[in-house]
Amino acid sequence: MIPRLHFAHLPTPVEPMPRLAAELGGRVRLLVKRDDQTGLALGGNKTRKLEFLMAEAQANGAKMLISAGAGQSNHCRQVAAAAAHFGMDCILVLRGNPPEERNANLLLDDLLGAHVVWTGDANLQETLKATYALAQKNGQRPYLIPYGGSNATGALGYAFAFDELCAQGYQPDWIVMASSSGGTQAGLSLAARRAGFRGHVLGISIDHSVADLQKTVAALASDASERLGERIEFLPADIEVNDAFTGGGYGVMGALEVEAIRIFARTEGLLLDPVYTGRAAGGMLTLIRDGFFSRGSEVLFWHTGGTPGLFAEPYAKMLAG
């Protein structure tokens, strides 16, 4: 038995997106897997990883969670919620300086009782290391949750998520999702391989080159496979990544993301986010229009959450037009 705590709202629904598909000329059939509805403090993909990471933290006798991320990190917001839910303390190391307005995920971090350490101009990893060392020295029994929750343990969340999708009766030709620290794609790719899945698992890169992300995801999938019984060696070439949509870099919302956010909202009543799902969906829309997916294919967009980001600046002002 793989240690796991159960607090996510699972299975998340799979829904058709007929109006969006029609808007795109009916070339493909579209589904969405609603991991924006995983239930932990406004949901998102980190909840699934945390079910396994929290089990490990508890087994280690941890009393505090420490993690790091961008200022508007969805991952950190979910870590803060997991800590609160299990009565643990939480320190979040966030990149940069505190903004004037503590809105969106930052507001939630605060409400959830997390203590935030800003790196200022210092290196994120260095600040994280120092924060962890200090907590340990103070006897606070910290447990370090990796960046994006992406290690072999966290990736298991998405191996089981793939199995969940199969159990719901779906075998899409394509699974498309935002991919950044790689744990989500690694878990899905691993379980897809184990299940003999004939479709594709395509990561739309948020902020890495194809080569870098393929390497990261392959290593994570290989490591995670050991937890499921036997090592499966993934090569970078086994991992399907598209990095054509990284645009102005991490967190820079442009026309691609704005259009995707608007079209999902108006055709399906679905909310995306400015940083991850807006970019991944924008990439998917572009690929559909370019005829990348063969006619009549079933394409499942794996919604990974992030919607609180809609209320962060500068996104909210930009979206308000």
Ligand X SMILES: *Cc1c(COP(=O)(O)O)cnc(C)c1O
CB 171 within 8 A of CB 197: yes
Least Å distance, CB 244 to ligand X, is 17
For residue 99, give every residue at least 6 positions away whose Cβ sits within 8 Å of its Cβ, in sequence order, or none. Answer: 71, 106, 313
Between CA 37 and CA 314 the distance in angstroms is: 25
Q: Which of 181, 189, 205, 225 binds ligand X (CB under 6 A)?
A: 181
* Region binding ligand X by CB under 6 A among candidate stretches 5-13, 119-127, 176-184, 229-237: 176-184
**Residue nearer to ligand X on the CB measure, 240 or 273:** 273
Residues in region 42-81 near ligand X by CB under 6 A: 44-45, 74-75
Q: Site residues for ligand X, window 255-274 (CB under 6 A)?
A: 273
Of 178, 179, 183, give the one whose Cα is nearest residue 152. 183
Among 152, 306, 312, 315, binds ligand X (CB under 6 A): 306
Residue number of the CB closest to ligand X reads 306
| Residue owning tokens 């442009």 | 254
CB 294 to ligand X: min, Å: 26
Question: What are the backbone dihedrals phi and psi of residue 238, each rounded to the nearest 5 degrees, phi first?
Answer: -75, -15
Q: Is 220 in the site for ligand X (CB under 6 A)?
A: no
Binding residue (CB under 6 A) for ligand X from 178, 201, 287, 299? 178
| Residue 188 engages ligand X in binding (rule: CB under 6 A) | no
Q: What is the DSSP string of 55-107?
A: HHHHHTT--EEEEEE-TT-HHHHHHHHHHHHTT-EEEEEESB---SS--HHHH
Asked if residues 100 and 108 have their Cβ atoms less than 8 Å apart, the reply is no
- Tell me the closest approach of the beta carbon of residue 80 to ligand X, in angstroms: 13
Residue with Cβ nearer ligand X (37 or 150): 150
Q: Which of 105, 180, 214, 242 is the binder for ligand X (CB under 6 A)? A: 180
- Nearer to ligand X among residue 127 and residue 185 (C-beta): 185
Q: Is 73 among the residues known to form the active site?
A: yes
CB 4 within 8 A of CB 51: yes
- Sequence-distant (6+) residues with CB within 8 A of 73 are 92, 94, 105
Residues 103-162 that bind ligand X (CB under 6 A): 148, 150
In the complex, what is the shortest distance from the CB of residue 21 to ligand X, in angstroms, rounded to a whole number? 22
Q: How many residues bind ligand X (CB under 6 A)?
A: 20
| Cα distances (Å, whole numbers) of residue 167 to 162, 171, 172, 183 | 9, 10, 13, 21
d(CA 293, CA 127): 44
Give least dist CB 304 to ligand X, A. Answer: 3
Query: What does the binding site for ligand X look like in residue numbers (CB under 6 A)?
Result: 44-45, 74-75, 148, 150, 178-185, 273, 276-277, 304-306
- Known catalytic residues? 73
